[in-house]
Amino acid sequence: MKPNTALGFVLSGLALNFLHSSTKLQRRIAKGLAIAIALLGLLILSQHIFGWNLGIDQLLFSDKLGAIKTSSPGRMSPVSALNFSLIGCALWLAAHRNIHSRKVQVLALITSLTSLQVLIGYIYGVKPLFGLSSFTHTAIHTAITFFLLSIGTLFVSPTDGLMSLVISNSAGGMTARVLLPAAIAIPFILGWLRVYGEKLGLFDMAFGLSLHVIGNVIAFTGLVWYCAKGLYRLDIKRQQAEAALRYAYAELEVRVKERTAELSQANQVLEQEIAERMRTVTALHKSFREFADMKFALDQSSIVAITDAKGIITEVNNKFCELSGYSRQELIGQTHRIINSGYHPKTFFGQMWATISQGEVWQGEIKNQAKDGTYYWVATTIVPFLDDRCKPYQYIAIRSDITNRKQAEEALRESEERFRRAILDAPLPIILHAEGGEILQINRAWTEITGYCPEEIPTIADWAEKAYGTHQEQMRDAIALLYQLTERTAQGEYSVTTNTGEKRTWDFYSAPLGKLRDRRSIVMTMAIDTTERKQAAIALRESEARAKARAKELEIFMEAVPVAVWVAHDPQCHYMTNNRAAYNMMRRKPGGIMTATPATGGYPFDFKIQKNGEDIPPYELPMQKAARTGQSVEDGFEFVFDDGEVKFIDSRSVPLLDDSGNVSGVIGAFWDVTELQRALSDRQQAEEALRQSEERFRHAILDAPLPIILHTENGEILEINHTWTEITGYSIEDIPTIADWTERAYGSRQEQVQSDINRLYRLNSRAAEGEYPIRTSTGETRIWDFYSAPLGHLPDGRSLVISTAFDVTQRKQAESQLLRNAFYDGLTGLPNRALFMEQLNHSLQKAKRHQDYLFAVLFLDLDRFKIINDSLGHLKGDQFLISIARILENCIRATDIAARLGGDEFTILLEEIQDVADAIKVAERIQQELRSPLKLDGQEVFTSASIGIALSSTLNYEQPEQLLRDADTAMYQAKALGKSRYALFHPEMYATALTRLQLEADLRRAIEHQEFQLYYQPIVSLTSGRIIGFEALMRWQHPERGLVNPVDFIPLAEETGLIVEMGYWALLEACRQMQAWQQAYPHRSLEKMSVNLSARQFCQPNLIEQIRNILQSTGLNPRNLALEITESVIVENGDEAVAILSKLRDLGIEILIDDFGTGYSSLGRLYSFPISELKIDRSFVNPMTTNKRNLDIIEIIVALADKLGMSAIAEGVETQEQLAILRKLRCESVQGYFFSQPLDSSKAAALIAANPQWC
């Protein structure tokens, strides 16, 4: 074969292949290749005819050694060139949109004949036949290739042209298919036998010619007889069909005669009925009169309108006109659109028309608009009147005015909404719960303090278990008694445990709120958090205990000191307390009550008090003088007893002042100087007595339990006692002067304190200096409450002052801690909600005063905190929150505030920003910081945050809670967009949030009213082509919005936790329906019902028990149930998920991974999961015919399932091409719209009964 010949065959094969493509581009390529083939043949043929050389024979290839040597090397034979010209033209005609089938087939037949001519030459060994070319032989393989190519061209369009007869099922087609192969093969074979016999000398040419002719005659005679026999059989069948048809006509004629007789008899019966009807005319007139009376009564009591079949008003009564404001002339000829208020959706009236059009009575409530624009409600009953064909020919609408009732219902709904918002936004924790333990609502304050959201505590039992621990049974019994309450009741204080493990003390109050529709009592319980108050009370008791201890120490000191000490507790000195030395000195027994001014007015003592031999009146006693004058009194006197004993006494009385400077009592000391008076007669003896007295006073100061210091006017420190030194660490050698003391104790505040001390030297009485922080020698800071009193003057005239201090450090620390607990988060040290809201309110008020002042609130929620907290433990979770707090502090300015609201929620207040770009920069900076891993004890943890931003200028905000609410709304919008991002609040978000809230309320009502339905999509086996099961899909038939898309309510149900109850119902209903189908269609191939299991439902602790109960109650075999879960459910729950899946497998239930390949599966652990089937997501199936990458992914998933001993199912199959590819990939089962869309139970049952089969 010449190179150009081979090139022509390659181009012809490509063109023939592209002709079978449906794409426009490939058919254009086929047309171009056909032109190239035709030109190749024509150019080479022209060289043979005209003898010129165009230089194309060896343009691309040259003859190799050993090739046939010709006068034109590399040139194909004229026969080959002719065939290429013919085939090129045929392929060019076939490439057109409207194929010229007959022309294409004629050209292909000519090509096949020329090829056969060459083959005959080779078979018979006649060279002139295969060498018709002047210069070049045609090779046998070239001829065979041309013959096959021409046959392929004939079948480009087999249903048109000459070939249509060959492939038809007619008698001609059958004959042609039998004769054509024989017409080609038999002459070839007989001709070869003739030539071969003559060459071998088996017979001569005459015998050979006779053999050839007779053989053809016999062969074709047999073929004609075979075809005639087939046609004869067809004719017999035709005759039998005609006979059957004639018999059917005869049967029909007999039946027509019978029917005619029946009609004649029916006519006689009809005449009798007409006579009977005439007799009923009188009764009918009577009925008409009764009907008129009923119509009058109806007109007087109801609103009535009559319309024709198209809804055109034909009659209205007076009440209709009065209520609508239209006259009868304005209404007749109109439709009810004239009073349409626009309140109801089109689907509402569509359902109404669908009901009455079927001849059924419709009842409902409609909101209409009167002529003056006012709205009114009517309860409507529409009754269709049916004709003989049971088709409505007119409708009567009977209405009653229910406007007042609807207005009352709307007012009640608005009141309930205000009540609900009041509970939600109340500053105190509030919970609404119903008899039986169901928690209907908890407000934000409850969640913020306890950390428990409504989904975590759906029942009182859950709350008691989490909050009261081992006391939960006692608390449940106590709560159960609340449902019998008739008035508000205080329950008392209880200790509750938050989700962080913190203990809080709550004072509970409960009140009954009536009953629900199911007659269950509903109770509202409110709590007052008394934790801080309790802690303050404990701190106060501890402080009082310390004060009592100090007082006890002082009492012991007074009893131990040898100096007689007395204290008068009131300015009149009615009541006095003395130490043991005083009782001994007055020769009395300890413990007796003494007074200097007895109520009887008599002398207060049983001995005399004299001075220089003269009695001293009671009001002149030193204690009375000190109380009266408010100044210290020093004096000497004698105690004269009845037995003649005389004691010489020296005393000092000092008034005690209250905070207002008034005398509240007197304290004094006196000592017996009798011995000195008697033993010493000169000055030396007196001074010795004074020295001893001062020494005793000094020891009393030194041993006092309170810090005491004696200092003089020029700053000299004369004495500090042991307690002072023990607490401060400074001895008198360390601080010889007041300047040394202030330098060490007060540091930078030395000058201010020194100025305060200098004023003490001008005191005339005891004074309270106040509280000062001091620094001890160890660097510790203590807080002392100082009191000072003058002690007279030294001999050199300097003033002497005694200062006493009370150490109030612990009390101040307790007060500071209480204050910090009230305004700061105990874990992170950040401001808490209370402080943040206070600062936010300040910023809001400032923005109102200054129009150019702008600030922003950022609301952050950590995206993966629950996973970290649950997997690493609460201790690591706390460390994680502390690390986040430090990151937030580093991302903001010193003037900004970062706060923790609770759990994993943080807020940031950005003050005095220029525009929104400043807030966005902070949000981006935070997200950038969170991209780096956090190290918790060497373990790396990754997280991200969803951030909502609310600007103060967005709306005219009145309350700080509104700003926080909008930032929270924006945060949820960011989380819905895919987490790890920020969103800026705009007013449309608030409307969206309200819509979402309404949808949540509708969802709860839908559960109560059972508005959900299950639709079923068939699962088809690619082995048998029949239905082997169904997937149950939930649909919501909303009373106003119609059929709601699952995409619009399933995510919300997941978020609110309602999916648990919805999922339980779906599982129960699907199992019940599957069992019913298996009983109704026992011979069908139904193997399984596939039900989706949500993440929330999967995590329920009683999941296994619920499923076991459902299977028992419905009687369904567990092997007929398959549960679909997503990859994320397994990944997020880890080993716990494996344990749950193993228990489900032990029950005999199949487990499917839904949407496989779209999540984050751990392929390394996939084999360890008890999974039986992988479900290929529709996102891979839909584009697989145009995207090779998706096709490769599907092939990998099918192969992976096969290797792991699982099976694969593909969803979303919509075309025959997709089905063919999946069957080729050996995918075992499929589902999608190609087979059926999801059907309700009745249509699905009809499909099962039909038992379709898809090949």
Residue 1171: predicted pLDDT: 87
Closest CA to 130 of 85, 82, 77, 84: 77
Same domain, 1178 and 1242: yes
Statement: residue 67 has pLDDT above 50: no
Q: Are 511 and 433 in contact (CB under 8 A)?
A: no
Statement: residue 41 has pLDDT above 90: no
Tokens of 444: 């934000």
Same domain, 448 and 393: no
Same domain, 1123 and 1186: yes
Out of 4-8, 149-153, 183-187, 1140-1144, give the one with best mean pLDDT: 1140-1144
Q: Domain containing 714 — which CATH number?
A: 3.30.450.20
Same domain, 1114 and 1019: yes
Q: Measuring CA to CA, how many Å separate 922 from each of 860, 911, 948?
A: 12, 12, 12
Same domain, 13 and 93: yes
| Residue 254 placed within a domain | no
Tell me the average pLDDT of the chain: 82
User: What's the CA gap between 375 and 367, in Å, rounded?
Assistant: 7
User: What's the CA gap between 705 and 550, in Å, rounded?
Assistant: 7
Same domain, 438 and 515: yes
Looking at the chain, the whole-number percentage of residues with pLDDT higher than 90 is 18
Statement: residue 1107 has pLDDT above 90: yes
Q: Are 1033 and 1015 in contact (CB under 8 A)?
A: yes
Between 169-178, 393-402, 521-530, 1106-1115, the lowest mean confidence (pLDDT) is in: 169-178
Statement: residue 129 has pLDDT above 60: no
The total number of structural domains in the chain stands at: 7
Same domain, 568 and 681: yes
Same domain, 367 and 489: no
| Residue 194 placed within a domain | no
Residue 561: predicted pLDDT: 66
Q: Domain containing 1141 — which CATH number?
A: 3.20.20.450
With vertex at residue 414, the alpha carbon angle to CA 410 and CA 420, rounded to the nearest 5 degrees, is: 145
Residue 1121: predicted pLDDT: 95
**pTM, whole model, 2 decimals?**
0.36
Closest CA to 636 of 610, 657, 658: 610
- Relative to beta strand 503-515, strand 489-497 is antiparallel
Statement: residue 1220 has pLDDT above 70: yes
Same domain, 806 and 819: yes
Alpha-helical segments (H) within 931-1034: 960-976, 987-1009
Q: Are 650 and 564 in contact (CB under 8 A)?
A: no
Closest CA to 1015 of 1030, 1032, 1003: 1032
| Residue 261 placed within a domain | no
Statement: residue 344 has pLDDT above 80: yes
Q: Are 329 and 315 in contact (CB under 8 A)?
A: no
Give the pLDDT mean for 1233-1241: 93
Same domain, 1234 and 1153: yes
| Residue 294 placed within a domain | no
Give the domain-ending residue among 129, 151, 167.
167
| Residue 236 placed within a domain | no
Give the confidence band of 946 by pLDDT, cuts at 50, 70, 90.
very high
Give the domain-ending residue among 808, 823, 838.
823
Give the confidence band of 861 by pLDDT, cuts at 50, 70, 90.
very high
Residue 241: predicted pLDDT: 64
Give the confidence band of 924 by pLDDT, cuts at 50, 70, 90.
very high
What's the chain's length in residues? 1255
Statement: residue 187 has pLDDT above 70: yes
User: What's the CA gap between 25 and 993, in Å, rounded?
Assistant: 52
pLDDT tens-digit series, residues 276-300: 767 666 666 665 566 566 666 666 6
Residue 135: predicted pLDDT: 41
Contacts of 621 (CB under 8 A, 6+ apart): 596, 609
User: What's the CA gap between 1185 and 1216, in Å, rounded?
Assistant: 11
| Residue 281 placed within a domain | no
Q: Domain containing 905 — which CATH number?
A: 3.30.70.270
User: What's the CA gap between 716 and 739, in Å, rounded?
Assistant: 9
Statement: residue 68 has pLDDT above 60: no
Statement: residue 13 has pLDDT above 90: no
Match 């426009």 to its residue by tokens: 24
Q: Measuring CA to CA, how many Å separate 72 from each of 3, 39, 44, 118, 128?
A: 14, 19, 11, 21, 19
Same domain, 494 and 614: no
Alpha-helical segments (H) within 778-849: 809-823, 833-849
| Residue 770 placed within a domain | yes
Tokens of 324: 């609508």
Residue 286: predicted pLDDT: 65
Closest CA to 2 of 102, 145, 114: 145
Residue 281: predicted pLDDT: 60
Residue 971: strand, helix, or coil: helix
Same domain, 844 and 934: yes
Residue 170: predicted pLDDT: 66
Statement: residue 555 has pLDDT above 60: yes
Q: Which domain holds residue 464?
A: 408-529
User: What's the CA gap between 566 and 481, in Å, rounded?
Assistant: 60
Between 32-41, 473-482, 756-765, the lowest mean confidence (pLDDT) is in: 32-41
Between 288-302, 471-485, 578-592, 1193-1207, the lowest mean confidence (pLDDT) is in: 288-302
User: What's the CA gap between 473 and 462, in Å, rounded?
Assistant: 11
Out of 602-611, 809-818, 1129-1138, 1234-1243, give the one with best mean pLDDT: 1234-1243
User: What's the CA gap between 28 and 36, in Å, rounded?
Assistant: 13
| CB count in 10 Å sphere of residue 1156 | 23
Tokens of 369: 């608009």
Closest CA to 703 of 721, 728, 682: 721
Give the confidence band of 401 by pLDDT, cuts at 50, 70, 90.
confident
Contacts of 170 (CB under 8 A, 6+ apart): none
| Residue 992 placed within a domain | no
Give the domain-ending residue among 695, 727, 747.
695
The residue with greater pLDDT, 495 or 603, is: 495
Alpha-helical segments (H) within 456-579: 460-468, 472-480, 531-560
Residue 301: predicted pLDDT: 66
Tokens of 54: 């165009």
Listed as own residue / partner, the contacts of 571-576 with beta carbons closer than 8 Å and 24 or more positions apart are 571/627, 571/662, 571/663, 571/664, 571/665, 571/666, 572/597, 572/627, 573/597, 573/623, 573/624, 573/627, 573/666, 574/599
Residue 1124: predicted pLDDT: 93
Between 228-237, 657-666, 897-906, 926-935, the lowest mean confidence (pLDDT) is in: 228-237
Q: Measuring CA to CA, how many Å separate 10 from each of 4, 5, 591?
A: 10, 9, 134
Spell out where 776-904 has E strands.
781-793, 799-807, 856-862, 897-902
Q: Are 908 and 925 in contact (CB under 8 A)?
A: no
